[in-house]
């Protein structure tokens, strides 16, 4: 599962992004700054702000600390923050495209603009946090044992582990379809036909009683006509098969881990985990 966040200057663009993400099946979406009037309605005044509302409103999101101040500043200036959490790997590119298409702000360019106006990148929210932490020990001259430890008295060392799997993606398809076409054909055929003619020839010969009998002659005419016969034959076969190939691909990514630095005020500074291992 992965996370994404993006700033928008207008409520309309932020709402479009939220709707498109949910339509794509990405439901874990949070819109912060929904009551803002739009980016630029509260420009930077050059003075520290005491209002920590926006900084606290994004406290549950997993941001690098410097990004947290930048998002809080964008909200302070009237912008809108869309945070997408628990994104499955196969939907990460879809979520990223949606945020870009709906007009997500280039936060690096926006930060550079703010710094040119005098913004320091921490703001009053950070100062308030630092001051609150420092004031917990003010005037405490004789602290009780372990009074300056945090609630659990320990710091967890966190290290990410990468696990690379495989998923099947579609690379296109091949489809074979058959259909019927009609092509005109022609061929010359010689045909024979008959016609009956009546022939009369003058003669001069003696006639007898037999010549006075009734008689009839008959002849039939015949003609040849073309006869068309068709025979369907299979002349070719078409099939589909697949060639399967395997290849090795090197996957590169980064993993994070936390390191510790211990200040020993008794005379030596232990500078990270490598020094701790040598002790």
Q: Report residues of the chain scoring pLDDT below 50.
A: 48, 50, 124-147, 269, 274-276, 278-279
Q: What is the DSSP string of 216-272?
A: -------B---------------------------------B----EEETTTEEE-S
Query: Given this model, what pLDDT does residue 133 score?
Result: 32
- What tokens appear for 122 in the block? 């921490």
Residue 279 domain-assigned? no
Q: What is the pLDDT of residue 125?
A: 42
Range of the domain at 107: 1-131
Give the separation between CA 107 and CA 74, rounded to whole angstroms.
Answer: 9
Within-domain flag for 268: no
Residue 186 belongs to some domain of the structure: no
* pLDDT confidence of residue 131: 31
Quick one: pLDDT at residue 139? 32
Burial state string for 112-121 with b = 16 or more CB within 10 A and e = fewer than 16: eebeeeebee
Q: Is residue 70 part of a domain?
A: yes
Smallest CA-to-CA distance from 130 within 65, 78, 43 is with 65
* pLDDT value at residue 106: 92
Determine the pLDDT at residue 2. 82
What's the pTM? Answer: 0.42
Q: Look at residue 86 and tell me if it is in a domain.
A: yes
CB 232 within 8 A of CB 180: no
Please indicate, yes or no, if residue 24 is contained in any of the structural domains: yes
Predicted local confidence at residue 39, as pLDDT: 87
User: Does residue 272 lie within any of the structural domains?
Assistant: no
Total number of domains in the chain: 1
> What pLDDT sits at residue 143?
39
Residue 8 lies in a domain: yes
CA–chain centroid gap for 86, Å, is 16
């Amino acid at each position: 599962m992965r996370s994404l966040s993006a700033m928008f200057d207008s409520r309309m663009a932020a709402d479009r992004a939220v709707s498109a993400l949910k339509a794509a099946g990405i439901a874990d979406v949070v819109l912060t700054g929904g009551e803002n009037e739009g980016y630029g309605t509260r420009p930077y005044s050059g003075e520290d702000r005491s209002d920590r509302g926006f900084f606290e409103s994004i406290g549950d999101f997993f941001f690098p600390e410097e990004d947290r101040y930048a998002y809080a500043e964008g909200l302070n200036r009237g912008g809108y923050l869309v945070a997408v959490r628990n994104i499955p790997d196969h939907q990460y590119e879809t979520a990223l495209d949606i945020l870009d298409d709906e007009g997500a702000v280039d936060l690096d360019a926006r930060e550079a603009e703010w710094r040119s106006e005098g913004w320091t990148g921490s703001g009053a929210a950070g100062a308030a946090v630092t001051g609150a932490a420092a004031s917990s020990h003010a005037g405490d001259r004789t602290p009780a044992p372990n009074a300056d430890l945090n609630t659990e008295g320990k710091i967890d060392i966190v290290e990410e582990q990468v696990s690379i799997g495989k998923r099947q993606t579609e690379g296109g398809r091949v489809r074979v379809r058959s259909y019927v076409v009609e092509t005109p054909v022609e061929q010359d055929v010689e045909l024979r036909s008959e016609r009956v003619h009546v022939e009369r020839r003058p003669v001069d010969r003696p006639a007898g009683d037999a010549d006075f009998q009734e008689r009839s002659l008959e002849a039939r005419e015949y003609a040849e006509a073309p006869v068309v016969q068709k025979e369907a034959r299979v002349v070719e076969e078409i099939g589909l098969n697949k060639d399967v190939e395997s290849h090795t691909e090197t996957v590169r990514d980064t993993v994070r881990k936390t390191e510790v630095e211990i200040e020993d005020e008794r005379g030596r500074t232990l500078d990270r985990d490598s020094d701790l291992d040598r002790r």
